[in-house]
Structure 1
C-alpha cells in the first residue's frame, strides 16, 4: 500500500491507473507461478536453484515445438510441461535417493538446462513460424480479467489447499521441520521430497507456457532472471499473514508488491539496473525480517 501511494504521488498520470494495475498483475503471473514452485520446495526444506532455468526451458520449447505447425499448440504445451516435470523428478531422485545436497543438484541441473536451451535455440530467438494463436494463452481476458491472473488464482488456491487441507501438506511441513523426526513418525520422506520437487517442475512448466504466450516467441535468455525475485517473494511473503512461515497468500502479496515497486521505478525513468537491485534488496530484507520474526537471534 505504501508503494502504491508513493508512486501514485510521484507518477500520478502513469502509475495510478486501472490499466497499470491490470498490467502489473498480468506481467507478474509468471513470477507468481515460479514463486509458488519455490514455496513448495522451501516447505520441505530444500532449495531448487533450477526453477528459473526450468521455466525458461518450457518457455522456449512451446514456441519451438509448434513453430511451422510441427505439432499442435496443446501438444507443445503438454510436452513442455512434461519436460520440466521430468527435470523436477530427477532433482527429487538425486536429493532424496542419492542424498546429494539440493544446492549442488539444482545448480548442476540449471547448468545442464542452460546448455540444452542454447543447443536447441542456437542462441537465437525462435519466432519464425510461431502461430499467433499462442499469444491467446496469455492475452485473452475473461470479464476484463487477463487469463494469466486467473491461472495464478487457480494455482495458488490449489497449492493452498494442498498445504493446509490435505495430509500430504502436513507431511511436507513435517519433512521441512525435521526429516529424522518425520521418518520416525512413519512418513516416507523420500517420496514427499521427490513428489514435491516434481510438482515444482510442473508449476515451472506452466509458468513457461504463460511466458511463451506473453512473448509470442521463444527467447533463450528468459528464465534464470526469475529465480532471485521468486525467492525474494517467498521470503517476503513469510513476513505477512502467517508470520515467520512460508505461506501462499503472503507469497502472492509479495509478488504484487515487487511488481508494483519495479513498475513504479520504471515509470519514473530509472535505469534498468534498478530492478535487480530492488529485488536483491527485497530478498535481503525479507530473509532478515523472517529470521527476526521467527525469534532467531540476529
Structure 2
C-alpha cells in the first residue's frame, strides 16, 4: 500500500534509468524559478540566521548558541533521516517517535533498574527498536495491512509497554557515566550527539545515493509493480526500510537518554510532528519533490534556528508548535506543487 501523503516518488514509466531514480528536473534546462526552488530552503536558513544575529547578536550569534542549536536537534536529525527510508518506499511510519521512547527507556531502565553495563544495554535497546521496525515491515509487506494502521497501532502498543515497564516513573538514579558521556561529552569541542547525527547522515546519504540498494528503494516508491517486475525484492527491501527506521530510532533514543541523563516515559511521541515536518520540508530542497538526506538535515536546522531565534526575541511558548505545524503544511503544499511541475 503506497502513501499518498508525501511528495511525488520518481516516475518509472519513461526516461528512467535502471533503479528507478531520476531527477525530477532536467538541470541543463531548468528555469530560474526552478533553480531557486532547489536552493530556497538553504537561503531561508541563511536569512533567518542573519535576522536573528542582527536582532540578538549577544545571545544568538555565538559559538555556544550554535553548539546548543546543533546539539538540541541531533536526536531529531537521526529520527528524521531514519524516517526517510519508509517514506522513500511509499509507506508511513508513525511509530518512530514512540520507538525512540522505547530505546530511551530500555537504555536507562536496563542500566539503572536491572544493573546491566552500559554497552550491553545500548545494544539491546537498539536491537529491540530494530525488531519493532521488522514487525512493522512484516505486517505491511507480508500481511498486507496499511502502513498507517500498522504503525499507529504499534505506537499505541509501545506506549502501553513503556507504561507497564516504568509504571509512570522516571529513571534517574544509577545512570552509568558511559551513557551520559555519550549524550553530554564532546570530541575536540564538538558535542558527541552532533558527531553521531553527522555520521548517520553521511552513511544514509551514501546508502541512498551511491548504492544499488538505495536506487532500488527509490524504484519501489516510484512504482511497486514495476520494481517487482524488474526483479527487485520488494517485500525484503520494504522490511529493511522499516527495520532501518527502527534501528535509527533506537540510536536516537540512546543518544537522548545520554543527553537527559534520565529516562522519562513521556519522551519520544512529541518528536513525531517535527520529524515529519523536517522530511517534507527537506523534500523541497536540492532535489525538489524527492525525499533526500541533505534537504532533511537543512530542514531540521532551519526549524530549530527559527524556534530558537523566536524564543530569544521573547516569543511565547506556543510559537514553537505553531511554527512547526505551519512549516509542515507549507512543505506538503510545496512538494505537491513541485510534483505537478515535474509531471
Shorter-chain TM-score above 0.5: yes
User: 1:143 matched to which residue of 2?
Assistant: 188
Note the 1:189-208 alignment, pairs <5 A: 189-208=234-253
Larger Rg: 2
Q: State the SS of the aligned residue for 1:235.
A: helix
The answer as to 2:145 corresponding to 1:100 is yes
Q: How far off is 1:142 after superposition?
A: 1.2
Q: State the SS of the aligned residue for 1:295.
A: helix
* Cα distance in structure 2, aligned partners of 1:271 and 1:236: 24
Number of equivalent positions? 297
User: 2:329 matched to which residue of 1?
Assistant: 284
* Correspondence for 2:93 among 6, 29, 48: 48
Note the 1:143-292 alignment, pairs <5 A: 143-292=188-337
User: 1:8 matched to which residue of 2?
Assistant: 53
Greater alpha carbon shift after TM alignment, 133-142 vs 56-65: 133-142
Greater alpha carbon shift after TM alignment, 237-246 vs 267-276: 267-276
Is contact 1:92–1:194 with CA below 8 Å preserved after alignment? yes
The answer as to 2:78 corresponding to 1:33 is yes
The answer as to 2:122 corresponding to 1:77 is yes
- Structure 2 residues without counterparts, runs of 5 or longer: 1-45
* Cα distance in structure 2, aligned partners of 1:26 and 1:222: 17
* Cα distance in structure 1, aligned partners of 2:113 and 2:137: 35
* Cα distance in structure 1, aligned partners of 2:251 and 2:150: 22
Is contact 1:68–1:131 with CA below 8 Å preserved after alignment? no
Q: How far off is 1:77 after superposition?
A: 0.3
User: 2:176 matched to which residue of 1?
Assistant: 131
Greater alpha carbon shift after TM alignment, 260-269 vs 167-176: 260-269
Q: How far off is 1:68 after superposition?
A: 5.6
The answer as to 2:34 corresponding to 1:24 is no
Is contact 2:183–2:260 with CA below 8 Å preserved after alignment? no
* Cα distance in structure 1, aligned partners of 2:190 and 2:270: 26
The answer as to 2:154 corresponding to 1:109 is yes
* Cα distance in structure 1, aligned partners of 2:169 and 2:322: 27
Question: Structure 1 length normalisation: TM-score?
Answer: 0.97
* Cα distance in structure 1, aligned partners of 2:240 and 2:113: 35
Deviations 1:2-45 (A, max 9, x none): 11112122222211111101111011000000101111111110
Is contact 1:38–1:48 with CA below 8 Å preserved after alignment? yes
Alpha-carbon RMSD across the aligned residues, in angstroms, is: 1.3
* Cα distance in structure 2, aligned partners of 1:132 and 1:294: 49
Question: Structure 2 length normalisation: TM-score?
Answer: 0.84
Q: State the SS of the aligned residue for 1:114.
A: helix
